[in-house]
A and B are shown apart, each in its own frame.
Chain A
């Protein structure tokens, strides 16, 4: 078993290299990169009145000396082959140097660490909320299968599946933010956060948390509830449950002690993927609620061609997801001793 997971961990390395090389290559071919932008800036700034529309050939630029262009290209390793540049980037990565943001002119790592707590805050609370609601709901639906409660709540589950979290967030924002004015129209905290008392801060933070967290939780609400329900239903049909009933145990004990424990296995293994939540700021939800988190950073870095940031987020994200996948499998073994990986 240990060997299996060691092999899995080693297999992460080629996968990681493959992903980063692929995205690295894409970024090299995208027009409008740092050098192009610098040239545009120099042209706009230097020539002033000259019309900026004649961006025909970049090499035929009038006011940038060849030497400056070459040094610029060298700075971004654009004068080297893709593989060479990739290995230089990889070498920096080994020393935990993700480079500097082209737009903000600060180290990428600093930029990411300043943004991810906001995203993680919403992501984790939403995740916990989803588990806290879906597990009891799924259990109740399974016990009361085909009851009126089961059927009506199924409808809610279908609705939840049919609307993406960010669209639900938009609807909530409209109803409770704009119309009823119960909650603020987005943001992480109020602009006057610094002036608030402690109690005021707590209230303010909670007000800004409620709606986005609902939007995050809604994303996994339907699948998680159904997974829980089906898992428990399946276990209730097993022989060991029949045996437990036959030997005269009270049904509460059979359901909640015997069946429930086994049916939680598929739910618990999902916990491994929670690792990805650290960076899982959904850009869509962050856009709706105007939150300046990692999702927004990732999106704007692509639009601005801020490749150091693009690659930095990719590296951390990939590492977390790959580790999360393995962790998920480890959790399988921990929770379910019947499972053996070879």
Chain B
């Protein structure tokens, strides 16, 4: 088969047709994605910056998942602590009942009830975990706070068993002697104090992680719009926009609240 020879005129027409087809495809892609820059060839710098912003948003989303799991784990531990607190309180009421009677048979019954509450406490402490992390059972929880994993928070676990941090011993002598009951009662009071401080520490950790979570969410939202807008960027337009924004912001509520926040800060001394 002999080659088909194209004249210069036909060649140039064909070339134009091909270019038009390319233009149509690219316009269609732009229409479909809503972005002006779709490939590295359109505008390399904007494309790669936008790409990396999108990747960043994805990384942050993964972080957000970790934070949500962490929040659930902390909440599970906190629920465990409140349930254990209730059990310790009922153990204490058993002790005070025992103190009010001199009948050793009754005391022995109360003592055995006390012992069964102890094993319930141990069970609860063992079940307070999520995804294999139990903050009441000695598993520390480490939460990563940024994508590069250079910043993290570690929540140190406690050991809320009767033989562990709570240190509630079994009833000596079946509470036959009043001194045995006083001993148990003292241990229970100490355990309650310990539980209260553990719960406070957990709440403050929970708050820290929640603040970071909200911040990350807001960051992802703005990151996504940022990446989309970036493909439309033009530096002169941006400069003009900034000047307009500068004027507009002077009267905005954000600027007003910024000013009032500054007035409440140590910065007010600096004028």
Q: Is B a genuine binding partner of A?
A: no
